[in-house]
C-alpha cells in the first residue's frame, strides 16, 4: 500500500510540474504568421528576441508577427492590415521610418535626394494614339500634324493627314482606315473607292480592276468587294481567308515560300493581311 501511495504522489507531482513548465506552455502557443487571439493566446517566439507579438490584421483576425528591436536598412519598420507590425523603436543611424503606402513603412536613407518630380502629362496624343472616346480622358488634340479622327463610337485616334499622295496610297477612309479626303493625288491619278472603308489613288485605266499580284477581294479589316483582274489571263486567287489577289491559277514554287503578306500588293494598306488578319 505504501508503494502504491508513493507512485500516486509522484504521478501527481509530475503532472503539476509539467503544467507549470514554461516549455509546456509555449508548446500551446501559435507559430510566427499563424492565427492567434490577442486577448488570450500567445506566440511561441514571445520569450525570445526578436519577439513575436499577437497583432490584429482586422476585426476578425490576428496573427503572430515578429517584432524587431530595430529595423534594418530598407526593411519594414511599421505596418497594418496584412503587413501589420508595431512601430520599431529605431532604424540604423542615418535612416528613418517612412511610409511607402497606407499599409507599409520601411527604414529609408534620410539623406538620400528626393526622386525628381514627374514631368508634365502630355496634353496631346501622338500619331496613331487614342485622342478621344468614352471613359477616356479627352486630350482633344494630336502632337504632330495628324488630326483626331473618329474610328467608331468607342474610339478616336490621331491620323496623319497628307496634302497629296502618290499611286495606290490611301487618299480617303473611314473606320479602321479613317482619314479625311486628301486635296489631291499625283497627276494622272484619281482617288477612287477601293476597299469597303478606303479609297486609293489609281492610275488611269486601272480605276476598277486589279493588276497582277494586287488584292482583288478581302474580308475582315481588309474587306473589299470582288474586283476584276486587269489582265484577262488572270483570275482572283485566294491567298488566305482575309485576302485574294490577281494571279494565274497556280503560283510558282518561289511564291509559295514567301510569307502571305509579301506575295502581293494591297493598295491602301501597309502590307497584305497575314493568316491572322493583320494588315496595318
The answer to the question of residue 99 being in a domain is yes
**pLDDT tens string 230-243:** 999 999 999 888 89
pLDDT-derived band at 22, boundaries 50, 70, 90: very low
Cell of 140: 482633344
Can you tell me whether residue 156 is helix, strand or coil?
A: strand
**pLDDT tens string 135-187:** 777 677 888 778 888 888 888 889 988 888 999 999 999 998 999 998 889 88
Enumerate the H helices of 136-270 as residue ranges.
253-256
Q: What gap in Å lies between CA 247 and CA 19, rounded to an integer?
A: 95
Q: What gap in Å lies between CA 267 and CA 280, rounded to an integer?
A: 12
Interacting residues of 187 by C-beta distance below 8 A, sequence separation 6+:
none
The answer to the question of residue 47 being in a domain is yes
The answer to the question of residue 104 being in a domain is yes
The answer to the question of residue 114 being in a domain is no
pLDDT at 20 over 50: no
Of the candidates 233, 234, 165, 177, the residue with the CA atom closest to the CA atom of residue 202: 165
Q: What gap in Å lies between CA 202 and CA 210, rounded to an integer?
A: 10
Name 149's bridge partners: 157
Do 44 and 33 meet the contact criterion of CB atoms below 8 Å apart? no
The answer to the question of residue 231 being in a domain is no
Do 136 and 125 meet the contact criterion of CB atoms below 8 Å apart? no
Of the candidates 169, 270, 190, the residue with the CA atom closest to the CA atom of residue 222: 270
pLDDT-derived band at 245, boundaries 50, 70, 90: very high
The answer to the question of residue 257 being in a domain is no
Q: What gap in Å lies between CA 277 and CA 280, rounded to an integer?
A: 9
pLDDT at 24 over 60: no
pLDDT at 195 over 60: yes
pLDDT score, position 123: 74
pLDDT at 220 over 70: yes
pLDDT at 14 over 50: no
Q: What are phi and psi of 62, to 5 degrees?
A: -130, 155
Do 42 and 27 meet the contact criterion of CB atoms below 8 Å apart? no
Can you tell me whether residue 249 is helix, strand or coil?
A: coil
Mean pLDDT of 20-40: 64
The answer to the question of residue 67 being in a domain is yes
pLDDT score, position 13: 45
Q: What gap in Å lies between CA 126 and CA 25, rounded to an integer?
A: 68
| Enclosing domain of residue 85 | 29-109
pLDDT score, position 45: 66
Q: What gap in Å lies between CA 105 and CA 97, rounded to an integer?
A: 6
pLDDT score, position 210: 95
The answer to the question of residue 40 being in a domain is yes
Q: What's the number of domains the chain is made of?
A: 1
More confident residue, 84 or 44: 84
Cell of 34: 499563424
Q: What are phi and psi of 7, to 5 degrees?
A: -60, -40
Enumerate the H helices of the chain as residue ranges.
2-20, 22-27, 253-256
Q: What percent of the chain has pLDDT over 90?
A: 22
Of the candidates 63, 64, 34, 37, the residue with the CA atom closest to the CA atom of residue 48: 64
pLDDT score, position 44: 73
Do 144 and 125 meet the contact criterion of CB atoms below 8 Å apart? no
More confident residue, 27 or 241: 241
Quote the pTM value. 0.51
Amino acid at each position: 500500500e505504501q508503494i502504491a501511495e508513493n507512485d500516486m504522489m509522484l504521478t501527481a507531482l509530475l503532472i503539476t510540474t509539467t503544467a507549470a513548465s514554461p516549455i509546456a506552455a509555449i508548446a500551446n502557443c501559435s507559430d510566427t504568421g499563424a492565427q492567434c487571439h490577442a486577448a488570450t493566446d500567445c506566440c511561441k517566439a514571445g520569450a525570445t528576441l526578436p519577439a513575436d507579438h499577437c497583432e490584429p490584421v482586422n476585426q476578425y483576425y490576428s496573427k503572430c508577427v515578429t517584432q524587431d528591436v530595430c529595423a534594418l536598412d530598407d526593411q519594414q519598420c511599421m505596418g497594418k492590415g496584412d503587413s501589420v507590425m508595431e512601430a520599431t523603436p529605431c532604424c540604423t543611424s542615418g535612416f528613418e521610418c517612412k511610409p511607402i503606402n497606407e499599409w507599409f513603412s520601411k527604414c529609408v536613407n534620410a539623406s538620400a535626394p528626393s526622386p525628381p518630380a514627374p514631368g508634365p502629362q502630355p496634353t496631346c496624343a501622338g500619331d496613331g494614339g487614342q485622342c478621344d472616346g468614352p471613359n477616356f480622358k479627352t486630350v482633344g488634340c494630336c502632337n504632330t500634324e495628324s488630326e483626331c479622327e473618329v474610328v467608331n463610337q468607342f474610339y478616336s485616334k490621331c491620323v496623319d493627314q497628307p496634302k497629296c499622295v502618290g499611286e495606290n496610297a490611301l487618299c480617303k477612309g473611314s473606320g479602321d482606315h479613317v482619314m479625311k479626303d486628301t486635296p489631291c493625288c499625283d497627276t494622272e491619278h484619281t482617288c477612287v473607292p477601293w476597299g469597303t472603308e478606303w479609297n486609293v489613288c489609281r492610275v488611269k485605266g486601272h480605276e476598277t480592276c486589279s493588276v497582277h499580284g494586287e488584292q482583288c477581294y478581302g474580308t475582315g479589316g481588309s474587306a473589299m468587294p470582288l474586283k476584276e483582274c486587269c489582265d484577262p489571263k488572270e483570275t482572283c486567287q485566294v491567298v488566305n481567308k482575309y485576302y485574294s489577289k490577281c494571279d494565274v491559277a497556280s503560283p510558282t514554287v518561289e511564291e509559295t515560300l514567301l510569307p502571305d503578306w509579301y506575295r502581293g500588293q494591297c493598295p491602301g494598306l501597309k502590307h497584305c493581311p497575314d493568316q491572322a488578319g493583320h494588315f496595318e
